[in-house]
Structure 1
Amino acid sequence: MLNLSVVLEDSAREVPDRTAVIFGDLRLPYSLVNTVANQVANLLVSRGVGKGDKVALACPNLPYFPFVYFGILKTGATVVPLNVLLQSREIAYHLDDSDAKAFFCFEGTPELPLGERGRKGFEESGAEHFFALPAQAFATESPHGESLWAALDGMSGEFETVQTAPDDTAVILYTSGTTGQPKGAELSHQNMLVNAMVSDEMFLRQDDDVFLATLPLFHSFGQTTVMNAGFRRRATLALLPRFEPVEALTLMNAEKITFFAGVPTMFWAMLTAVRTGAAEVPPTLTTAVSGGAAIPVEVLKDFSATFGVGVLEGYGLSETSPVAAFNQRGRPTKPGSIGTPIWGVEMKLIDAEWNTQDEVGEIAVRGHNVMKGYYNRPEATAEVMRDGWFRTGDVARRDEDGFYFIVDRAKDMVIRGGFNVYPREIEEVLMTHPAVSLAAVVGVPHDSHGEEIKAYIIRKADATVTEDELIAWSRETMAAYKYPRIVEFRDALPMTATGKILKRELR
């Protein structure tokens, strides 16, 4: 028996009255979070959802997230967290691809009409049950469907967690594939639990730890290192649904935050806010963790000097639950390095034929953190897995002390604000526009996002579409982190003899 929900249940049993979650004025103890999760589990069972079923969840960092996430796990079902920026067409794809039986969706806000998109996506999919997570606390009605609170009415707060095997699938995390369509990485209870435990053990522990949860919990980084590791530690999670540097720093000061994990752009933004006098340095911060993309060495140095806390940089992917390597506390750290493999994990460098390389090569990972495979995609799995090793597509070098440094990313992938964006997926969508003849998408350097998405377009002969019109169309068609903010029309694109676009000449 090994169920990831133990990270919540154990804490609820040992420290029932300790605050698990802070959201605005709400202070929710561990006992309450566990009780509501039990009610969610009872609700699912009452609707015929159970072990082996898939349940999707689209929700920003709100108390609903842990309620539903752990409720799903308790039934033995698999959680399918969805990016809250997806459009309806993309939501329908994820629901069908994962065989989701039920879907919990946040109503959203005027700026983020998630409920509307979610309901439309649900109706276009084969999923059976839809639960709306109301924007107004405890509202029993929703314009989009059955409200969670109405559905939970009368549900018992007791639930006996279903026994799951270590290799049963706990979570399916979608990752943008280079082939255009996102693939679901199947992560077992053991993958997720051991990764949360090892992450927790690596960081300085205090009796009154308060974690800032502003990394999206639907993403592997926030889910494992913030929520699951935080709950295992019996820490308090202060939820911030949308990262704004001044708001984040204000919350860090008010709630005495000790632990912060973020992507490089967040560190950059907080530094800027402190420098301009818009916010104060939080005096309680003891641990700062960066991942999602390589953090510029200058930002690393400036942050450490300004905040008085060294930034620990790590590396991982959705397919590795996610943490694979880390600059660990108590050992020397090297600026610009992703550190060394974490406990129980091996890394090596390989070439295209899987031959081991000495100094520079593609990172391959083996250990307790490597996914079972891509859901229902044996061919895609076989391409990246061999003898327990997973090839990451990221090129790195290793120094004489065994520290790894990322050299380049999987061919053309763009990392915008910590989100992976695969140009090919964007190109495929752009090509569906009636005026577009050819599209090439690249990442161009950007001060705050790390990279911005730029599309080079060859228009069809009689087309009159403008750059601004194409950007506006893209905004409607793609998730907010994916669509190109810059469009440049060209009469021709640089190509190889075989007709491949030479992207390195466009960057």
Structure 2
Amino acid sequence: MDRRPWHAVYPQEVPPALDYPSVPLTSLLTESAEKFPNRTALTFFGKKTTYRKLLLDSYRFANALIRLGVRRGDRVALLLPNVPQYVVAYYGTLFAGAVVVQLNPIHVERELLRHVTDSRADTLVCLDLLYARVRNIREKAGLKRIVVTGIRDELPAVKSWLYPLVQKRKGQPPAYDPEKEQLFVMHRLLRAASPEPPPRHSFDPAEEIAVLQYTGGTTGIPKGVMLTHANLTANVRQCAAWLYRSEEGKEIVLTAVPLFHVYGMTVCMNFGLSFGANLVLVPRFEINELLRTIHRYRPTIFPGAPTMYIAINHHPLAAVKYRLTSIRCCISGSAPLPLDVQQKFESLTGGRLVEGYGLSECSPVTHANPIWEKRKTGSIGLPWPDTDCRIVDPDTGQALSPGEIGELLIRGPQVMKGYWNKPEETERALADGWLKTGDMAYMDEEGFYYIVDRKKDMIIAGGFNVFPREVEEVLFEHPAVREAAVVGVPDEYRGETVKAFVVREPGSSVTEAELDAFCREKLAAYKVPRLYEFRDTLPKSMIGKVIRRELREERRDE
């Protein structure tokens, strides 16, 4: 059998191999600013930033960092939502020769401290509303420089004037005192800094780290994934090849996926900027605001997560009040995309919504269904150009045949350099360039891949292997189920048994007995949930992925 059967199914427009110039990641911005200087790069609540201004502000921030003492290879942590300052700080850090450390704004102090100390970042850029948490870890973390910025700084004039009144009504206390607390204010730094290009460093993009992306930490301590300039530029070029109908200088990217998440960073920001797109920044996912944003700005590309598309599908006014037909293509990531969600969203918008796959260690995208050609329900799609994959027995490493379930291994130009300061972890994850994903999967005869589940999430019930995703997909088929998550819980007789957490559709009163009967028609008896718990919501990450770990931990704490 052909080692890469997926090439035969590729759309005609997508080559199996691409050219990857040896350039820094910052070239994405500099090239687009040269081609489209007056085109809008960022839109934020009505305020627009051109490519020329974005580039000059990034230069200014780089020069400010250098003046403050940041040197090549230093780590600069970003604690920011989707605001224009995030993009300026990200590219400014890279222009300064430093490494971006991505931090999650919803993390508590303990988590922030762990990531800052592990990365040895001594400079941090944060939103003023988040500074209280930073203040409490500043000394322990060894932070030398803290740069603060506010949403008000990037609002249009009228909204900027109203913002303090709104915050006062909400009872928000003053976030910080720059002089007293020895902080640097971002907009002051930019005003005082030179807009000239900072000194250039000569380096090998395949070796130079651009970003430390901390993994979600589903088990154990999160690790810093070292993504090089070459890793990230390669994934952008692969993305551009897959979205081959995209037009330079004409696209509008709805940027609702958090930019601190590797998916938003690559598929929204870096890809969008490389194409001269207008990034419409959404700092927080709220369905009514999202629909108003789509209606007003008419985005053409909408990377997202299933929960975002589900929210749109279920909004009572989505089809009658809002114009959604500008959306041409969407790649869904982070969680399985149910068929009914895909079909309803496509009927609402007229665009195409396909499932993809990736992980932090791969910058992140490795697979996606063809957007405008043949696709398969339940599949994560085909490997992207220059991406090799194979399925192996997780115990022996023996390669498996199509249809056989094993661990998914990936090799390609987007695969990480390794884990930050963790050589043993790196050695366990990478062998001869092949990344062990920890995901159980299979490939069909045509080269489409299917994720069965995380190896670590697999439930062993009475000696049988149960994959939560398979059970969840059956539950999703029931018309009364809006969301579902399945975990293994201790059982004296079976070792583990299957428990389902279910969010009902509004107005539904489906019972445990009804779901049990439904599952028994579609699943082997050992896979059918023995326990059900009905919830109003499920715990999710900021990108909308259900966090099974929290559901398991709740059970242990009982």
Q: CA deviation at 1:201?
A: 2.3
Q: How does 1:155-170 map to 2 (within 5 A)?
A: 155-160=193-198, 161-166=200-205, 167-170=207-210
Q: How does 1:44-443 map to 2 (within 5 A)?
A: 44-108=65-129, 114-137=130-153, 142-143=176-177, 145-160=183-198, 161-166=200-205, 167-203=207-243, 204-206=245-247, 207-273=249-315, 279-352=321-394, 353-358=396-401, 359-412=404-457
Of all paired residues, the percent bearing the same amino acid is 35
Per-residue CA distance 1:30-77 (angstroms, 9 max, x = gap): 011111110110011112212111110010000011100000011111
Deviates more, 1:173-182 or 1:124-133: 173-182
Per-residue CA distance 1:401-432 (angstroms, 9 max, x = gap): 1100111123229999xxxx9x99xxxxxxxx
Change (3 A) 1:278 1:95: farther
Cα pair 1:397 1:407 within 8 Å, conserved: yes
Q: CA deviation at 1:281?
A: 4.2
Change (3 A) 1:88 1:351: same
Change (3 A) 1:279 1:50: farther
Change (3 A) 1:364 1:17: same
SS at match of 1:288: strand
Cα pair 2:324 2:348 within 8 Å, conserved: no
Q: CA deviation at 1:298?
A: 1.5
Cα pair 1:42 1:156 within 8 Å, conserved: yes
Normalised by the length of structure 1, the TM-score is: 0.80
**Cα distance in 1 for residues equivalent to 2:147 and 2:557:** 49
Cα pair 1:246 1:270 within 8 Å, conserved: no
Change (3 A) 1:313 1:276: closer
**Cα distance in 2 for residues equivalent to 1:152 and 1:41:** 9
Per-residue CA distance 1:219-244 (angstroms, 9 max, x = gap): 01100011000000001000001112
**Cα distance in 2 for residues equivalent to 1:375 and 1:159:** 29
SS at match of 1:260: coil
Q: CA deviation at 1:307?
A: 1.9
The answer for the alignment partner of 1:451 in structure 2 is none
SS at match of 1:181: coil
SS at match of 1:261: coil
Cα pair 1:3 1:74 within 8 Å, conserved: no
**Cα distance in 1 for residues equivalent to 2:184 and 2:307:** 38
Q: CA deviation at 1:162?
A: 2.9
Q: Which amino acid aligns with 2:213?
A: L
Change (3 A) 1:99 1:258: same
Matched, 1:4 2:25: yes
Figure out how many residues of one structure are paired with residues of the other and give that number: 438
Specify every segment of 5 or more residues in structure 1 that has no aligned partner in the other structure, as ranges: 109-113, 425-439, 449-473, 493-507
**Cα distance in 2 for residues equivalent to 1:37 and 1:231:** 13
**Cα distance in 1 for residues equivalent to 2:446 and 2:317:** 35
Per-residue CA distance 1:316-343 (angstroms, 9 max, x = gap): 0000000001112343111111111000
Q: CA deviation at 1:153?
A: 3.5
The answer for the alignment partner of 2:464 in structure 1 is none
**Cα distance in 2 for residues equivalent to 1:488 and 1:25:** 42
Q: CA deviation at 1:282?
A: 1.2
**Cα distance in 1 for residues equivalent to 2:425 and 2:552:** 32
**Cα distance in 1 for residues equivalent to 2:225 and 2:557:** 40
Q: Which amino acid aligns with 2:184?
A: E
Change (3 A) 1:189 1:351: same
Deviates more, 1:169-178 or 1:52-61: 169-178
Change (3 A) 1:101 1:18: same
**Cα distance in 1 for residues equivalent to 2:230 and 2:194:** 28
Cα pair 1:103 1:122 within 8 Å, conserved: no
Change (3 A) 1:208 1:125: same
Change (3 A) 1:91 1:246: same
The answer for the alignment partner of 2:501 in structure 1 is 444
**Which has a greater percent of helix?**
2
Q: Which amino acid aligns with 2:77?
A: A
Q: CA deviation at 1:354?
A: 2.2
Normalised by the length of structure 2, the TM-score is: 0.73
**Cα distance in 1 for residues equivalent to 2:556 and 2:354:** 43
Change (3 A) 1:392 1:279: farther
The answer for the alignment partner of 2:36 in structure 1 is 15
Cα pair 1:384 1:390 within 8 Å, conserved: yes
Q: Which amino acid aligns with 1:408?
A: D
Q: CA deviation at 1:176?
A: 2.8
**Cα distance in 1 for residues equivalent to 2:408 and 2:80:** 32
Cα pair 2:319 2:348 within 8 Å, conserved: no
Cα pair 1:90 1:121 within 8 Å, conserved: no
